[in-house]
Amino acid sequence: MSTRTRFAPSPTGHLHVGNIRTALHNWMLARQAGGEFWLRVDDTDAERSEERFVHAIRKDLAWLGLHTDGETRQSERLALYEEAFDTLRDAGRIYPAYETQQELELKRKIQLGRGLPPIYDRGALKLSDAEKAQHEADGVVPHWRFKLGHDEAIAWDDGVRGTQKFEPAQLSDPVIRRADGSWLYMLPSCVDDIEMGITDVLRGEDHVSNTAVQIQMFTALGAQPPRFAHEALLVGREGKLSKRLGSLGCDSFRERGIEAQALVAMLARLGTALPVEPIADIEELVETFDLSTFGRAPARFDDAELDRVNAAIVHQMGFAQVSDRLPDGMDESGWHAIRPNISTVPEAADWWRIVTGPVEPRDFDEETRVFLATAEDLLEWSDTPWQDLTATLKERTGRKGKALFLPLRQALTGRDFGPDMGELLPLIGEDRARDRLRKAAES
Ligand code: GLU
């Protein structure tokens, strides 16, 4: 069976950097194996799921360059869950439970007070038929639990964490369906993974104990469990998943001038033994993707590192990749001149203003004004006006280094530093250059 992975967000909010990373890794895993990557919209929670978030998720994946080979939605697959539910109930693997939330909480408190782990005591399994009938007669609608096989050892070889073993008796039988008939995450996810032919489930380590339960569900449904891998969670520089990190989505990155390639390059390697590098070609990242390089320690997300990766990516970007985001009139040579001086594409507009003007007037001393007047006199237009001008000025005035270059840059651009003048002066053009030198000489 060829590799098929899925990314399964709940459309209850925007994707944040943590789930963007999960999506990317699943995409890479599939891509590397020549397999498929699917989007599964986990929208069984009708109240909290919103269509606008489904659109936003699709848009974000497209922006990131993560092509999906198909999409499924849990809300359209309820009949499948119903069927699996019947199968498991008939096999005695699902049972009704009548406890209220308060009763369950009280039981937990008592267990904890006695120093015992708060595992569900299977009270519902001990009810006699008469007691169950009484509950029903009292109008108590049951919720439903999956019955873990206590003799059925749970173990898997996790792609990141290595051998994982769980003692089923140490786990609570999970509630899989609420009294109102709605589904919790656990069973629908299993049913979908089977039905969609998912071969590899790669997700955050907060799902490890869910996997333990789901492995028994796969088996109970007569299926071979997929391969599992659980990556360490993403944390901020301060060491935890902060609110800020949890709200950082593609829109906020875009607004900050972060390129999709930069985010991809960073998230592809973060938390692995491989170095984070400004690799713009996603295929190169795919080639080096390797679950065995993933560490167990939380992956630290650092904004400053992302900014550095972004700047290095921007410096590699070709004109065609950015042309629709550049100011009017800025052409390929303009982009090449300015590119080394910017960390984000929108910053190009700031530098482009020094080409189109007007430039910030400066105060020059008498001697410098004379020098700038000489510069205007000697300016001759050619393919290399800057090189010619500075060579002639050096010869005539004896100035060199900073004394030669800085006043010219200041007069021509209004700034003390900036893009290479050799590239910039042809863009400024003869008329503007003369005008700026004259104004500076007369200032
Ligand atoms: N909707 C679940 C989540 O976002 C999916 C988990 C999974 O990958 O199975 O946590």
The residue whose CA has the least distance to atom 5 of ligand 1 is 8
117: its two tokens? 């782990």
Q: Give the C-alpha separation, 185 to 208, whole Å.
A: 14
* 377 is a domain residue: yes
* 325 is a domain residue: yes
The residue whose CA has the least distance to atom 3 of ligand 1 is 9
* 342 is a domain residue: yes
| Ligand 1 atom at minimal distance to the Cα of residue 6 | 8
The residue whose CA has the least distance to atom 7 of ligand 1 is 8
Q: Which residue has 């895993």 as its token pair?
A: 29
> What's the pLDDT at 246?
76
Q: Which of 43, 53, 185, 208 to mutate to test the pocket of ligand 1 (most atoms within 8 A of CB)?
A: 185
> What's the pLDDT at 243?
72
Per the structure, the count of domains in the chain is 3
Q: Are residues 94 and 104 in the same domain?
A: yes
Q: 100 C-alpha to center of ligand 1: Å?
A: 26
Q: 14 C-alpha to center of ligand 1: Å?
A: 14
Q: Give the C-alpha separation, 290 to 70, whole Å.
A: 24
* 334 is a domain residue: yes
Question: Over its length of 443 residues, how does the chain's per-residue pLDDT go in tens digits?
Answer: 799 999 999 999 999 999 999 999 999 999 999 999 999 999 999 999 999 999 999 999 999 999 999 999 999 999 999 999 999 999 999 999 999 999 999 999 999 999 999 999 999 999 999 999 999 999 999 999 999 999 999 999 999 999 999 999 999 999 999 999 999 999 999 999 999 999 999 999 999 999 999 999 999 999 999 999 999 999 987 777 667 777 789 999 999 999 999 999 999 999 999 999 999 999 999 999 999 999 999 999 999 999 999 999 999 999 999 999 999 999 999 999 999 999 999 999 999 999 998 999 999 999 999 999 999 999 999 999 999 999 999 999 999 999 999 999 999 999 999 999 999 999 999 999 999 999 999 98
Q: What is this structure's pTM?
A: 0.92
Q: Which residue has 């080639």 as its token pair?
A: 287
147: domain range? 89-177
Phi, psi of 203 (to 5 degrees): -150, 180
CATH of the domain at 131: 3.90.800.10
The residue out of 160, 177, 194 marking a domain boundary is 177
Q: 203 C-alpha to center of ligand 1: Å?
A: 7
> What's the pLDDT at 443?
85
| Ligand 1 atom at minimal distance to the Cα of residue 22 | 8
The residue out of 177, 211, 230 marking a domain boundary is 177
Q: Are residues 343 and 386 in the same domain?
A: no
Q: Residues comprising the binding site for ATP?
A: 243
> What's the pLDDT at 244?
75
Q: Are residues 351 and 421 in the same domain?
A: no
CATH of the domain at 414: 1.10.10.350
> What's the pLDDT at 16?
93
* 47 is a domain residue: no
* 72 is a domain residue: no
Ligand 1 binding residues, C-beta < 6 A: 8-10, 42, 185, 189, 203, 207
Q: 19 C-alpha to center of ligand 1: Å?
A: 9
Q: Give the C-alpha separation, 213 to 211, whole Å.
A: 5
Q: Are residues 387 and 437 in the same domain?
A: yes
Q: Are residues 326 and 374 in the same domain?
A: no
* 420 is a domain residue: yes
- The secondary structure of the chain in percent helix, strand, coil, rounded to multiples of 5, reads 50, 10, 35
> What's the pLDDT at 248?
83
Q: Are residues 164 and 130 in the same domain?
A: yes
Other CB atoms within 10 Å distance of the CB of residue 430: 14
